[in-house]
Amino acid sequence: MGYILHGLARAGVLLVRGDPETYSAILTTLKVSSLSIVVSLAFGIPGGFALGYFQFSGKKQLRAVVDTFLALPTVVVGLLVYAFISSRGPLGGLGLLYTVPGIAVAQTVLVVPIVVSLTATAVESLDRRLKSTIITLGARGRKIAFTSLFEARFAVITAAVAAYGRAISEVGVSMMIGGNIKWYTRTITTAIALETGKGDFAKGIALGVVLLLLAFIINWLLIFLKRKA
């Protein structure tokens, strides 16, 4: 228990004194996760709405594929993205390997299925009379989609928070694509793996506490947004 308490105490010291390495990892984590979640929402919400709202041939099969991707191993995502953006891959010329945007691309691939699946479920759960009511009130085209999404806003917000939580706590993809480069691509999770491997359990616990604080802040924001809505 001694080293655990020491780690908790050290977490406070690192944050209060503004440890450069710690804050660099925090900033990189926030950059990567925020970039990936913005792209994921931009593609995932329209995709989830279309999957849940419209009826088309092969919908059940497509939904099964999306739901399967929810359990996609992070190392597999990292391997596939690495194959595409490495110097020998088709996107190697973009120079994304061992960069923050490269990690964000991999995290986007990882969390888009979460946004799509949960948004589709939210839209499917809406009252079946909603569409006819909206049309009766004169809505057409985009207004129908926006109104339906507004009615499912709580579930969509939950999907966004769940996706962000997956991105911010991910380690495999960040390690494979980012390379855990100090001051550049090192995130909180990769820093925890590094410090624990070095035997510095106190700093690993300290960084873990920081990650938990970020998770609590995200959940608090979810509660705040629900109350405002």
Determine whether 98 is exposed, middle or buried from the number of CB atoms within 10 Å of its CB (0-12, 13-18, 19+): middle
- 79-95 as b/e: b if 16+ CB within 10 A: bebbebbbeebeeeeee
Q: Are 174 and 103 in contact (CB under 8 A)?
A: yes
Residue 74: predicted pLDDT:
84
What does the pLDDT look like over 62-101, one tens digit per residue? 988 888 888 888 888 888 889 888 888 888 888 888 899 9
The CA distance from 105 to 182, in Å, is 20
Cβ-contact 43, 94 below 8 angstroms: no
**In whole angstroms, what is the distance from residue 55 CA to residue 101 CA?**
35
CB of 54 closer than 8 Å to CB of 63: no
Predicted local confidence at residue 156, as pLDDT: 83
- What sign does the CA torsion over 16, 22, 24, 30 have? negative
- Domain-wise residue ranges, the chain: 29-199
pLDDT at 3: 64
Looking at residue 75, what is its pLDDT?
A: 84
| Domain with residues 29-199, CATH architecture | Orthogonal Bundle (1.10)
pLDDT per 10-residue tile (average), the chain, 229 residues: 69 74 86 91 90 84 88 84 87 86 91 91 76 63 72 81 85 85 87 80 78 80 69
DSSP category for residue 126: S
Q: Residue type for 226, please?
A: K
- Say what the pLDDT of residue 72 is: 80
Q: Is 95 left (phi over 0), alpha (psi -120 to 50) or beta?
A: left
Q: Which 3 state secondary structure label does DSSP give 83? A: helix
